[in-house]
Amino acid sequence: MKFVHIADMHFDTPFHMLSDRANLGEVRRLDQRKAFKKMIEYIKENEISYLFIAGDLYDHEYIRQSTIDYINDGFKQILNTKIYISPGNHDPYLKNSYYAKYHWSENVKIFTSQIEKVELEELDLYGYGFEDFYLKESKIEEIKIENKQKQNILITHASLDGGYDDQRVYNTISSSKLKQLGFDYVALGHIHKRNLTNDNRTIIYPGSPVSLGFDELGTHGMIVGNIEKEKIEIEFVKLDEKEFKEIEMDITNINEPEELLEKIEELELNEKDLYKIILKGNRNFEINTYKLYKQIERRNIIKLKDKTKIGYDLNKIANHSTLKGIFAKEMRNKLEEGNIEKELLEKAIEIGMQALS
């Protein structure tokens, strides 16, 4: 039984917090479509029998009908593939949702918050979805597999062991109890990082097909599997052509903004990927990340993060009987008092030292 398992596509998510780069949100939404099309082509070429979509296919708040039409047109291209969707917390099965009111392709089945079993010739498929943006009491652990002679699959959007969900409001289930239920494969969604490891081949998060930001580093795509009784073959197939990457840059020996900008422009980068540059070390001048970011010509650097520390040795400078020494002593005392925000004081120290130089 060959299948594809995806989750957390988040079609039409706005990417508001991704970057100040103009049109980057539009670019990433186009990348989502490219990844989806690539998946559809893979399913056609490899005659995949089943497609499992474990929630958050789209963002309910932002989804457009044109995007739903695009998704459904893709589904119509693979009519020989049975498609099962378990709605998640971002795309719940609401009365006014496209899941409820749209005329989906004939090969699409959408689950609700009532656990449902679909009996097929070669397997029994259990599905459980969200009907609201929160699901506090999971019913998953109550499932009893009726026919263990067949292959049994579960598809749901869930927080395994409460991970990343301190309030436990996103269908939290216990991994140990889930294993005890005896499913041959559990297709999960909700966590955007895949958990495909050698010791866990039956309870799977595929991760998001397209990375949504710098908290989702590395490659992204889909899970492709083949299940026979007591035998599971699973592999990861990349869909997202871009990767989000972080580069740490020590600026301790850089003495002026122009030199820093020059060093950033000289970084060896993969032109397809998207980068966050993290500045570290001791800074010898005031850093205005917003201004610096605007000056960077390389369009795939989309974020700057300043994690540097002030480079002035106030104790050493305070020993000098100069105006700069008096200033350093005063600033050191204010830092020790702790009455003013440290970051503001450090900025004041940098401006003052530069003015007194």
Domains, the chain: 2-238 (3.60.21.10), 244-356 (no CATH)
Q: Is the pLDDT of residue 248 over 90?
A: yes
Query: Given a cut of 70, is residue 159 above it in pLDDT?
Result: yes
Hey, which of 23-27, 155-159, 199-203, 339-343 has the most confident mean pLDDT? 155-159
Q: Dump pLDDT digits (tens) for 100-154.
A: 999 999 999 999 999 999 999 889 999 999 999 998 888 898 899 999 889 999 9
Q: 315: pLDDT confidence band, cut at 50, 70 and 90?
A: confident
C-alpha distances out from residue 344 to 255, 314, 324, Å: 21, 16, 19
Question: What pLDDT is attached to residue 20?
Answer: 66
Query: What is the rounded distance in angstroms from the CA atom of residue 274 to the CA atom of residue 248?
Result: 14
Instruction: Give residue 84's identity as a one-letter amino acid code.
Output: Y
Read off φ and ψ for residue 321, nearest 5 degrees.
Answer: -90, 60
CA gap 53, 69 in Å, rounded: 17
pTM of the model: 0.86
Nearest to 107 by CA among 43, 12, 191, 24: 43
Tell me how long the chain is: 357
What would the pLDDT profile of 259-279 be if each residue is shown by its tens digit? Answer: 999 999 999 999 999 999 999
Interval 174-191 mean pLDDT: 92
Instruction: Give the chain's mean pLDDT.
Output: 91
CA pair distance 166, 143, nearest whole angstrom: 24
Question: In this model, does residue 243 exceed pLDDT 90?
Answer: yes
pLDDT at 338: 83
Tell me if 275 sits within 8 A of 301, measured CB to CB: yes
Instruction: Say if CB 137 and CB 115 are below 8 A apart.
Output: no
What pLDDT is recorded for position 250?
96
User: Which of these, 138, 211, 134, lies nearest to 172 by C-alpha position?
Assistant: 138
Rounded to whole angstroms, how far apart are CA atoms 275 and 158?
A: 30
What residue type is 237 in one-letter code? V
Task: Please name the amino acid found at residue 253.
Answer: N
- Burial (CB < 10 A; 0-12, 13-18, 19+), residue 293, is middle
